[in-house]
């Protein structure tokens, strides 16, 4: 699968490129960047961390970057995953040009859509 014209040099065939298995932290957020016309996804990055007693993220760590995450060249949004929730579903829509939309959803139904919608 290719991630839009900006990702044409990187083939993503395994979600382990995006999600790292050996990190002893929770997935706390996902940064998704699209082109300014919101027609395709330019980049994705998952962040990890732990939550303290107040629900604040501590020990944060950014995972692998895939594509363009520069706010100067892309429209970027961060999907935060609340404490006591987890990423239950990640839907990637793509065509022959690359990834056109990303839809993360938590186990408690929090979701958002990024990119071109059907």
Asked if pLDDT for residue 17 goes beyond 80, the answer is: no
pLDDT score for 10: 47
Answer whether residue 45 is part of any domain.
yes
pLDDT recorded at residue 34: 93
Asked if residues 47 and 31 have their Cβ atoms less than 8 Å apart, the reply is yes
| Residue 101 lies inside a defined structural domain of this protein | yes
| Residues pairing with 89 in the sheet | 105
Provide the token pair at 33. 């960047």
Does a structural domain hold residue 74?
yes
Query: Is 116 inside any structural domain?
Result: no
Residue with tokens 């609340």: 82
List C-alpha distances in Å: 91 to 42, 58, 115.
Answer: 16, 27, 12
For 79, the domain range is 5-107
> Given this model, what pLDDT does residue 60 score?
87
The tally of domains found in the chain comes to 1
Q: Is 113 part of any domain?
A: no
Q: Residues 51-109: pLDDT tens digits?
A: 888 888 888 888 888 888 998 989 999 999 998 999 999 998 888 878 899 999 999 99
Q: Is residue 22 part of a domain?
A: yes
**Reduced 3-state DSSP string for 18-60:** CCCCCCCCEEEEEEEEECCCCCCEEEEEEEEEEECCCCCEEEE
pLDDT of residue 4: 46
* Mean per-residue pLDDT of the chain: 83
Is 118 inside a domain boundary? Answer: no
In angstroms, the CA 104 to CA 113 distance is 7
């Amino acid at each position: 699968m290719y991630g839009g014209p900006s990702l044409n040099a990187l083939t993503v065939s395994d979600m382990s490129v995006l999600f790292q298995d050996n990190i002893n932290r929770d997935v706390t957020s996902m940064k998704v960047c699209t082109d300014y016309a919101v027609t395709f996804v330019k980049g994705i990055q998952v962040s990890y961390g732990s939550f303290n007693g107040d629900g604040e993220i501590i020990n944060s760590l950014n995972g692998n970057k895939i594509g363009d995450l520069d706010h100067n060249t892309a429209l970027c949004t961060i999907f935060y995953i609340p404490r006591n929730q987890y990423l239950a579903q990640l839907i990637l829509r793509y065509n022959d040009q690359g990834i056109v939309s990303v839809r993360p959803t938590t186990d408690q139904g929090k979701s958002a859509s990024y990119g071109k919608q059907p």
